Amino acid sequence: MSPLRPVRPPFRLGTILRGISFLRAVLPAALAVAADDNWQQREDNAAWRAECSACHLAFPPGLLSPDDWAVIMSELDKHFGANASLEERVRKDISAYLVRNGNRNRSFGNTEETPRITGTEWFFRSHKSAIRLWQKGRVKSLVDCAVCHKGPDIERMSGK
Ligand code: HEC
Ligand code: HEC
């Protein structure tokens, strides 16, 4: 897996975090917000659930803009260093699903060539403490959402 590209420097952080005690402190908050609409896809799609959960969480459509989903779905053969190619019929089905349910709020868009959920303004804003932990090497990857988000919401997204 390729490492995340460096995050924009530096954030003004409200809270000083201390390792594990941080995680204990924030997990209830994470669980509370996990019930938020952003996790909850309004429409389900079996192909998306099956295919996009093979290597990582099936990321909820509402966490990225329609344009960014379209970019991701058009470059599956070069997908973050992996080949995630799909049969064209399946690719089209998933692509249409993600674009239809993508988040039109500007803060869910990317300016990078390779769009990422972890590269959106929304992610930077809502994950300041998580980014701080990652910068300190306390979490290996921000893409591994399940490290911090647990419970029924994340289980729903893991393709099971
Ligand atoms: C063959 C494995 C594989 C499959 C299948 C796969 N991905 Fe990925 N995906 C990856 C890898 C590897 C990364 C980069 C992870 C990292 O940076 O740690 C990634 C990253 C992503 C990211 C960016 C995560 C972020 O915010 O940093 C998105 C969005 C994404 N994948 C969507 C999808 C979608 C949609 C599908 C289904 C069509 C899919 N992936 C299927 C391997 C895969
Ligand atoms: C290192 C821990 C950590 C990781 C990794 C992490 N999160 Fe979070 N996340 C949090 C915390 C803590 C909050 C609560 C934000 C707050 O209250 O400061 C949160 C909040 C959220 C929210 C609700 C915020 C909102 O504005 O709606 C969503 C949705 C979310 N995370 C999704 C994700 C996804 C998807 C990933 C993986 C791409 C991810 N998180 C990775 C810790 C993490």
What are 99-120's pLDDT values in tens digits?
Answer: 999 999 999 999 888 999 999 9
What are 2-18's pLDDT values in tens digits?
Answer: 444 444 433 344 443 34
For residue 145, pLDDT beyond 80: yes
Best of 148, 150, 158 for a ligand 2 pocket test (most atoms within 8 Å of beta carbon)? 148
* Whole-prediction pTM: 0.83
Q: Is 96 in the pocket of ligand 1 (CB under 6 A)?
A: no
**Helix extents (H) in the chain:** 19-34, 46-51, 66-74, 88-101, 121-126, 128-135, 152-157
What are 54-66's pLDDT values in tens digits?
Answer: 999 999 999 999 9
Instruction: For the beta carbon of residue 55, count every other beta carbon within 10 angstroms.
Output: 11
Map out the domains of the chain as residue ranges. Answer: 19-157
Best of 56, 140, 141 for a ligand 1 pocket test (most atoms within 8 Å of beta carbon)? 56
pLDDT for the residue numbered 121:
96
Share of the chain above pLDDT 90, in %: 61
pLDDT for the residue numbered 112:
84
Q: Is 143 in the pocket of ligand 1 (CB under 6 A)?
A: yes
d(CA 59, CA 38): 10
| 131 CA to centre of ligand 2 in angstroms | 10
Of 13 and 69, the structure prediction assigns the larger pLDDT to 69
Of 122 and 153, the structure prediction assigns the larger pLDDT to 122
Q: Is 129 in the pocket of ligand 2 (CB under 6 A)?
A: yes
Q: Is 23 in the pocket of ligand 2 (CB under 6 A)?
A: no
Mean local confidence (pLDDT), 48-54: 95
Share of the chain above pLDDT 70, in %: 71
What are 14-39's pLDDT values in tens digits?
Answer: 443 344 445 554 554 544 444 346 77
